Every structure is written in C-alpha cells, then in structure tokens.
Amino acid sequence: MEVTALTIEAARNAVQERKTTAIAMAEAHYSRIQKEDGQIGAFLTLSRERALQQAERMDRIVADGKPLPPLGGVPVGIKDVLSTRGVRTTAGSKILDKYVPPYDCTAVAKLETAGAVILGKMNCDEFAMGSSNENSGFHPVRNPRDLSRVPGGSSGGSAAAVAAGMAVATLGSDTGGSIRQPASFCGVVGLMPTYGRVSRYGLIAFASSLDHIGPLTRTVKDAAIVLGAIAGRDPMDSTSAEVPVPDYVSQLDKPVSGLKLGVAKEYFGDGLDDEVRQAVERAIDTLKSLGCEVVPVSLPHTSYAIPAYYLIATAEASSNLARYDGVRYSLRARGVKTLSEMYRRSRDEGFGTEVKRRIMLGTYALSAGYYDAYYLKAQKVRTLLTRDFDEAFQKVDAIVTPTCPTAAFRLGEKSNDPLSMYLADIYTVTADLAGIPGISIPCGQTREKLPIGLQILGKHFDEATILRIAHAYEQATGRSQLAEV
C-alpha cells in the first residue's frame, strides 16, 4: 500500500483498520517531502513535532478501540497565510519571516479537531498576491507536472503538494482565483466556498471582502469531506454566515439528470486557448450525456471584472497591509534614526515588488479626489456582476466555464507583464466579486500533457450542487489526481 497515494477516506480507514499507523503515514509523507520538495518548493515550514503529536493522539484512539474522526490520521498542508499556533507563519513575505502566531486560524483548528495531521506550511505568492507563485518572498514553486512551468497562484504550494503526493489534502485561500487556478494548472480539485461559509478568523488578510478559505484535494469527495469539517458559523468572524452546513458527502451520489447548466458566451471568447476550449466543450458534452440540460446564459458585465477586481482588491490590500510598519510584529529595518525612516525602510525591505505595486494602486484608488472615480465605481460594477449571476441562476442550477484561458505557462514568461499575468484570472475573479462558490476539476490535458480545469459555479451557499455535478463528471470520466500520483 502506497500511503502517499491515498484519498482522505482511504487514509483514515487504513489507520482505523490498523493497516498502518498515523505516525507511519506522517513519516511516509515527510520522506516524500524530503525526496520531492527540493525541486518543487511547495513547503516553507515543516511542523514535524506538532504533526507527530497529533498522529500519536490518533493512534491512541485506534488502540482504545474507538472510531477515528472524519480526517483521523490524514496528513494535510496549510497555506502560509493561515495562522498556526507555535508554527512560523509568513504569508510568503520577508516582512513576516520570523512571525510565530499565538493562536490557530479557525479553519486550522477545525481540521485538527477532525483528526488531520498538519505537516507544515505551504509556499504562496506574497500575501496571496499573484497568479503564478513566483511572487513568494522566499522561492518560487514549480509545477510537479512540468518543473519548467508555474503551479499557479497564489495557492501554488498547496496545489503542488497534493499533485506531487506530499500531502493528502491542503488548505488554500482564494481572493481572485487562488484556489481554482492552481488546481487547474496542477490537475487537482480546488473548491472555493461561498463567502461567509468558512470563517476567515486567523487568515492574514489580503482583501477582506474577497478572501475565502477552501480545500485542494485529489478527488471531489475529499473536497466535500474537508469542507464539511471547516464550514460553519464562527463567533470570531462577524462575516461568517449563520447558515446550516449540510452533509456534503451524503449528497454526492444524488443523480444530476435534469439539472440545468448555464454556459455563458462571455467565457468562450477571445484569448481562450483552443485546446482548453475543446476539453471544456467535451466535458460539457459528458455532463449532457449524464442527463444535464445545457442552457445558454449571459453574464454581460464579465469584461469589467478584472479592472473592478484590481481596484477593490488593491484598495483593501492597501488598508490591510498598513499594519506592517516595523513597530509591532513585522520586520524592522536596522540602523534607522527617525520614526518615518523606520516605517519607510521596514516596508521597503520587507515587501516584494508585486505587493508594493498593489499597495500603490490601492492607495491611489482610495486617495482624495479619486475615491469616487475608481473605488466607488468599481463597487458599483461589482453589484452589476452579482446581479448578472443572480439573473442567470434564476434559469440554471450551476454555470460551467473553463477555469483558466490557458494551461500552465512557463516560469518567468509573464513576470515582466503584470497585465498579462492579471488576465490569467479572467474566468475566476467574477465568482470572488459575487461571493458565490466555485470548484475546479481536471477535465483533460494539452498535447504537452499539461492539465486543463473545468470550473463549475453555483448559487450562494449551494456548494452541495456543484460538488454533486463535479463528482458525477469525475465518476463518469475517471478523471482525478489520484490516478496520477
């Protein structure tokens, strides 16, 4: 039994049935990390002591003859924007290089309560700002499918670790596509829940009205298991919703026949790679063969999504990142003589180029004389985008699109062209702006054997339906990362 190639359910059952131990499973994953991660760069910090303590607790439960919790003994990774008590949390930035939180992110705490064994912290674009994981303050992440290419961003380390068999599942964050885009590039499943479904308490904020926490996994069922573990109202996060959390796993096998799937022409226009288009169209045909009805819909304000997103997100980033000033817990420049010099040099030395670019964009958009023209107008466009989805969902149960316009691009290919890099998220930012859930699942590969992702978008708090559709497609085609590890 190759324990680094198991699903969540299979890994838990292997421990429960004493085919292996949680400690042995954790050690097997650390061995794989040692073997593979030198060339991939998915991890920033390993938490071996914490992992083995949790694994020992799981083994004691088995020894006592008790049933394991849903993720009992399952090795997972945590994106480094999620706070972990006693474990270095950098947000991929030099400015937080030595930061060790005194508390756990709610999603992390819930994962451990569900029995998960936390292997370590995953590399990411600095403060989750990026589409390639080349913006990490430490080192880039490489795509396990082709080491010359990016894994996507900003949750590139989280996606790469699952794709390379270094973790059974990981948590990522999605502000403009940062779970779904790397899932597409690495050929894994990436789920972004509805805004408010999962508590953001303990998430190092990029853009507070756009940030979501969600899982990256090998199969749709694994994503359903993780979401069930981390979802729910949290009194520590006023934006988390008081909405019942269904049993996602029990609903996966419900028939999809009769469901109406929207296809928006705005997602199949210029810029969409032909191989991606063909793979997504084949996936839509497969869903039709399962009994789904395909309905044309229009999302007319889609073309405004990128400019609206890069005004709202950067404005919120400018506000959120003002706290990193060298005074409290972030890097402090040495040899300074005045307070203003300390502020200036600490931020200059601690922040990378992309973070500085976004802070400046956001500060400008919020400045006197420009607020109405830029930030306020972008928020009005956001409302129009949300209405587009609301109207479409009156006709359909879900919307299917490509996740990304292309497969994974080469390292360095877009580094000097920020606009081209931003357009890599053109099909994903709309869901973040509207606050709806979305999932990316593998639906094929290019001639160069690079993964292609299918995106399924759903109504607010209706993750169950998009998981059901994704699971039906996965079962019908056998497409999951499990077969590729």
Could you list the active site residues? 79, 154, 178
Residue with tokens 């180029």: 353
Distance CA 119, CA 166 (A): 9
Here the tokens at position 56 are 């020992």
Distance CA 116, CA 122 (A): 16
Q: What is the DSSP string of 328-359?
A: SSS---SS--SHHHHHHHHHHHHS-HHHHHHH
Distance CA 243, CA 246 (A): 9
C-alpha separations of 94 from 331, 332, 341, 358 in Å: 7, 11, 18, 17
Q: Is 55 left (phi over 0), alpha (psi -120 to 50) or beta?
A: alpha
Nearest in space to 173 (alpha carbons), one of 156, 150, 189: 156
CB distance 406 to 273 below 8 Å: yes
What's the full length of the chain, in residues?
485
In terms of DSSP bridges, do strands 438-445 and 398-402 run parallel, antiparallel, or are they unpaired? unpaired
Hey, which bits of 420-462 come out as E strands?
A: 438-445, 451-458
122 in helix, strand or coil? strand
Sign of CA dihedral 221, 222, 223, 227: positive
